[in-house]
Structure 1
Amino acid sequence: MTSREQSPIGAHVPVAGGLATGGLKYAAEIGAEVVQVFVSNPRGWALTTGKAAEDARLRDSGVPVYVHANYLINFGSPNADTLGRSVESVRHALLRGREVGARGVVVHTGSAVSQSYEDAMAQVGRHLLPLLDEIPDDGPDLLLEPMAGQAHMLCATVQQLGPYFEALEHHPRIGVCLDTCHAFAAGHDLTAEGGVAAVLEALVATVGAGRLKLIHANDSKDPCGSGRDRHENIGAGLMGERPFAELFADPRAAGVPFIIETPGRSAEPHRADVDVLKRLRGVPAPVAG
């Protein structure tokens, strides 16, 4: 047995019927120990209010909760309407995250679209930093999720988190959500000998220890460096099982929750992915020599 804190394993869960009613039921079906939810339409700007009873059930369930903000948010956008809506959407996600007892709110790091990288990063600082100052002591952290490396992305590799953290003045309420499929697509070869250790070492060197707060555990349909964000079930893609076992074994990821966002429209494939990760969690760390 190891004395290091064990990472809980779970999934992004559907919430039809209510955040707690639907989400916790699905979590139980697949054996999830931690959940991630949407608190509004992930592909729209509508800001929905919660139901107090559902919020309380989720908050008091004892299951760690994370919120994923909507996919349209982009603080690097040159479009004033998109930028304004992004501000309000993140503010709403942080508020709702507090109401459900979430530990973190995940937001994609965005794209410069048609403007310069420098102008886009300046916008990140001007518009996102004030939202971080609004987070109360009992509110969730904001977790930055690097992207898969498509054109004009502000952040894909872990090294590119450096300028992002600088724009946000290394605020104490920001953390990192590392998506394994995104990292692989962006060029981090997690399948190479020492590849996982190299990514975690680079992450700590770039943003400091303790900033990794969540791991999106997804295999990849496409090869390393493809720039394509297409998730696959654990062990069924081009990454295979070994990188996940190495993540569990690395002390820099100790205790960090693993959330699957893998294909499947029913509980069966997600239960299988959770089971695989639980098995890999128990694989002993390799002995250096």
Structure 2
Amino acid sequence: MRAIDLLNGRLKLRHLVLVVAVADQGSVLRAAEHLRLAQPAVTRSLREVEQILGVELFSRGPRGMTPTLFGEAFVEHARAVLAELRRAGERITGLADAAVGTVTIGTLLAGSNVLLPRAIAALKRDRPGITVVVQEAAFDAQVPRLLDGEIDLILGRLNPIGDVRGLRQITLYSEPVRLVARRGHPARERAGLTLADLMDYPWVLPLEQTALRHELEQLFRSAGLGLPADLVECTSILTIRSLVCDTDMIAALPELVARTDAAIAPLPVALEPVRRQVGVTLPDQRALTPSARLMLQHLRREAAEISALVTGSGSDPAERG
């Protein structure tokens, strides 16, 4: 098969939509229902795509349709093409009317609980017609969607991108990570509190695949300590907060989280090597839509104010209305 075969007009946009639908739905019947088409029409169109490509895209089995090696590759490219077309429409809309549009932000599970709401509020004050979509997931799960164009940017603690091509990162600010506990925690009564003293209490730590977890494990090792014996692994800020407030659990959270929550407070145990670099991960080659560009401008502006707060100047973020 030559590449030119895909550009001679036989392959239609509807073929791409159909193949992605079959992959997502797992069967021709469910894909037909999803697309509101008759099942024979979907079957016929799928056969047309396979004839054009000269390969079988799906294995038919009792449990439905499973993409073949060829199918996985083609679905990946079909998603990227459809995402780019959606983005083209959004960009044209944004250029025609800068007051409307959509920006989709992927935020990490332990993402920017202070920066993101402030930036969204600022954007909506500036352009109330822009729709902001926030989707939360781990960094590794967000990257393929960013590369495919399903999301515009990833916001949160910067993770190493390694040898993943097509990405660039912008650091917005840096803040310390603090050990926190509820204000009435019994550890606060101990004089000269050390990290070793805290091993007697239950902990809630990030998941193993997170950058913060790796830094905390290095901190424990440098102090000659293992992981806490009584341990919960979690990256949901809401769940962590509830556990810390309602029990004697100890957690490692960004300083601004502790400073904006009246129920918890930092413990007097330094974590100097551990800091959180907050920033955005962007596609390297793809231009941002007008709405995404405006979002990034507000993120930069709000991050500059937060950076001043972290270094000790300015007002508390909770005081801004």
After TM superposition, the score normalised by the length of structure 2 is 0.24
Structure with more strand by fraction: 2
Greater RCO structure (CA 8 Å; 6+ sep): 2
Rg larger for: 2
Which structure features the higher share of helix residues?
2
